[in-house]
Structure 1
Amino acid sequence: MTLTKILFTIGPASNRMEIVEALLREGARGVRFNFSHGDHRTHISNYRLVRGVSKSMGIPVATVMDLQGPKIRVDDLRQPVEVKAGELVEIGLMSREKRVKFIPFSYREVIESIDEGERVLIDDGKIVLKVISKGRDSFLSKVMVGGVVKSHKGLNLPETELNIPALTEKDREDLLFGIKTGFDYVALSFVRSPGDILELKDILKRHKSGMKVIAKIERPEA
């Protein structure tokens, strides 16, 4: 167990000196910076805080930048949409079924990749749907577990092999920031194949970075 490390995420609830000190005293030896939230100014401020506390306490701490990766989210809704178990719901770029509720999103790659029978999870799995048919611009699904769908909630497709790059433009910009800042590790989200890791390592090599890579296994094909 000596190789096991405690990692904590720094954010609004933990980015104060006394809290970082307390966490290090309790055994934390790694800090995760979540690049799904916050801007570079916030991250550099938190990075300096962690490095400063680490130095003053004489405790080595690893810094991990966790890239956002491709995020599939519900587009803007005029108002939340309640969906009930057994109902049919259309999801896509534009509606073709005027008689059912419609949830908009902007990812044609999802429509091209998804197949009948696959599940769609909304809002961290609180709402579950199953695809029953698809067209060019949308797919029709049946609600298995109902709830209220709100704007910008995440869509997760655990059974769909998506043709979406693991590294987005935002990730690339964040990675260059992380290299310049001096992070120890970079975590790649939604890894699908060795090629995703090799692409990331190639960028690090071109910029002469010694950052280590963490592959986050979040998809079945990984």
Structure 2
Amino acid sequence: MSVEIPHPQRATKIVATLGDVSSTPDMLGKLVTAGVNVFRLNFSHGTREEQGARIDAIRALEAKTGTPSCILADLQGPKFRVGKVADETIVKNGDRITFDLKTDMGNASIVGLPHAEIFKAMYPGARLLMDDGKLVFKVVSVDTQSFDAEVVVGGPLKSRKGVNLPDIIL
């Protein structure tokens, strides 16, 4: 019995991570033409609706071209993250910023940190690192639902970036 395989199978996968620019139907088509057969969606960024639209676009391209594609869903792990932050927010060395348990939309002076366990363990002098250590803060004062910190190493403050607490045991 012979089975006809409509598309050549290959063991090697070529993965492309999708973002805002690479998710257009035109760009998806170019990526498939270039050999991409796995599309990675980073669920740490974007909304559920945005990711759903990307999946729909990939499946529509499959139907149109007859070329199968895999979808790799990169799910955020058990990581502390800040909340949403307004676009193009920059913090500079020496600035003061408040980390708050209940803030929905952050900016250069306040950012949401929706993890109550952090506030229970936080103390003045502790360090907070964000975005894989690109931003560094030193805690100045602590309250039950917020704490103030000084920016030690500044830069772009972005939504949903990871938080590390090297001086805190949780």
Give me the whole-angstrom Cα distance separating, in 2, the residues matched to 1:75 and 1:57: 39
Which residue of 107, 110, 114 corresponds with 1:103? Answer: 110
Name the TM-score, length of structure 1 as normaliser: 0.46
Q: How many residues align?
A: 148
Q: What corresponds to 1:156 in structure 2? A: 162
1:157 partner letter: V
Give the match's secondary structure for 2:118. helix
- Supply the distance in 2 between the matched residues of 1:102 and 1:126 (Cα, whole angstroms): 18
When residues 119 and 29 of structure 1 are mapped into structure 2, their CA distance, relative to the original with a 3 A threshold, is same
The letter for the 1-side match of 2:82 is I
Q: Specify the code of the residue in structure 2 equivalent to 1:84.
A: N
Cα pair 1:120 1:158 within 8 Å, conserved: yes
SS at match of 1:131: strand
Per the alignment, residue 117 of structure 1 pairs with 126
- Structure 1 SS opposite 2:137: strand
Report how far residue 20 of structure 1 moved: 1.9
* Residue aligning to 2:105: none
Deviations for 1:66-94, whole angstroms, at most 9, x for unmatched residues?
44566422678xxx785433x55543359
> 5+ residue gaps in structure 2?
1-9, 103-107
5+ long unaligned stretches in structure 1: 95-100, 164-222
Taking the aligned partners of 2:169 and 2:34, their CA distance within structure 1 comes to 40
**CA-based RMSD:** 4.2
User: 1:141 is matched with which residue?
Assistant: 149
Q: Do 1:89 and 1:102's aligned partners in 2 also have CA atoms closer than 8 Å? A: yes
Structure 2 residue aligned with 1:51? 59
Identity %: 23
Corresponding residue number in structure 1 for 2:39: 31
Deviation at 1:131, TM superposition (A): 3.1
Residue 23 of structure 1: how far off its partner (Å): 0.9
Secondary structure in structure 1 of the residue aligned to 2:37: strand
Structure with the higher fraction of residues in helix conformation:
1
Q: What TM-score comes out, normalization by structure 2 length?
A: 0.56
The structural deviation recorded for 1:153 is 3.8
Structure 2 matches for 1:63-74, cutoff 5 A? Answer: 63-67=71-75, 71-73=81-83
2:137 aligns with 129
Report SS of the residue matched to 1:28: coil
